[in-house]
Amino acid sequence: MTLTRRDITELLARHGLEPSRALGQNFLADPNTVRRIVRLANIDEHSNVVEIGPGVGSLTTELAATGANVVAVELDRHLLPVLAETVEPLGVRVVHGDALATDWAQVLPAEKQWHLVANLPYNVATTIVLDLLDDVPQIETMLVMVQREVGERLAAKAGDGAYGIPSVKLSLWATASLAARIPATVFIPQPRVESVMVRIERRSAPVVDVDHEALMDLVRTAFGQRRKMLRRSLAAKVTTEQFEAAGIDPSERPERLDVVQWGALTAAVLAGA
């Protein structure tokens, strides 16, 4: 059973609820879009799926219909009685909690491989994705709906206009690509921004073998002055010899360097070359 616009309006009214803007609540109200997302997710009865922010259960019901094992983490306690009605009878485990403060080792047993499929709360979407890549290795793939600009930043490659700090951080752990555009008309209420689906696949090992904090420190400093050449923005952190040892042209701008080059620069700095 996929929830229609009428079902969602009726559920919200019967439970005395209004979508909360503070919690980024824009509920999917179009069964065709929900089915399209679940097809893109490529899951079946053998899959373990985690959803963050199930809302009233629009996507969750269709995820459960594949036969997958589904765990859904929802922050808004007012939605719990709705989820008890819409998704718990389908075998979905609903966890009341904040995705930014969840003990994931408790919620997602590490011996299984997990797939995140979610229409994320837009204000915290980048943080959720990057934190899960850092801290929850049992999540192998993600198919997430985010605001279009956020999706473009996550999926950007070196040289793209949208390439920035989140793009480099994501590419340490994973590869990302845009999988679909979703029009604002399919939500209740309609968001003011456009949405995209981003597919993220974790690499079998981080792409560079250097201290990630040190790498991200250089990246943040350089992108803090994005228009400047690296020799200027990183003057306090990287010597001419270190640029040379890493094979990086100091007159480049930060958006030109891919994660492997950032790794080489970090290694040269840490080696004190």
For ligand SAM, the binding residues (CB under 6 A) are: 23-28, 52-55, 58-59, 73-76, 79, 98-100, 119, 121, 124
- Please identify, using beta-carbon distances, which residue of 2 and 119 lies nearer to ligand SAM: 119
In angstroms, give the least distance from the CB of 81 to ligand SAM: 14
Is the C-alpha dihedral spanning 187, 178, 21, 131 positive or negative? positive
Read off φ and ψ for residue 37, nearest 5 degrees: -65, -45
Q: Please, which residue, 8 or 215, has the CB nearer to ligand SAM?
A: 8
* Smallest distance from ligand SAM to CB 45, Å: 21
Cα separation values, 43 from 70, 113, 115, 143, Å: 11, 12, 8, 11
- Based on CB atoms, which residue is closest to ligand SAM, 52 or 222? 52
Which C-beta is closer to ligand SAM: that of 79 or that of 238? 79
> What letter would DSSP give residue 160?
S
Among residues 24 and 254, whose Cβ is nearest to ligand SAM?
24
What are the Cα distances from residue 104, in Å, to 43, 71, 132, 133, 170?
21, 11, 9, 12, 19
Nearest to ligand SAM by Cβ — which residue? 53
DSSP letter at 69? E
Beta strand extents in the chain (DSSP E only): 27-28, 48-52, 69-74, 93-96, 114-119, 139-147, 174-182, 187-188, 195-202
**Shortest spacing between CB 219 and ligand SAM, in angstroms:** 25
Task: State in angstroms the smallest separation of the CB of 18 from ligand SAM.
Answer: 12
Burial class (CB in 10 A: 0-12, 13-18, 19+), 46: exposed
Q: How far is the CB of 169 from ligand SAM (least distance, A)?
A: 19
User: What minimum distance in Å lies between the beta carbon of 240 and ligand SAM?
Assistant: 45
Report the residue number, 47 or 58, with the smaller CB distance to ligand SAM: 58
Asked if 61 and 3 touch (Cβ cutoff 8 Å), the reply is yes
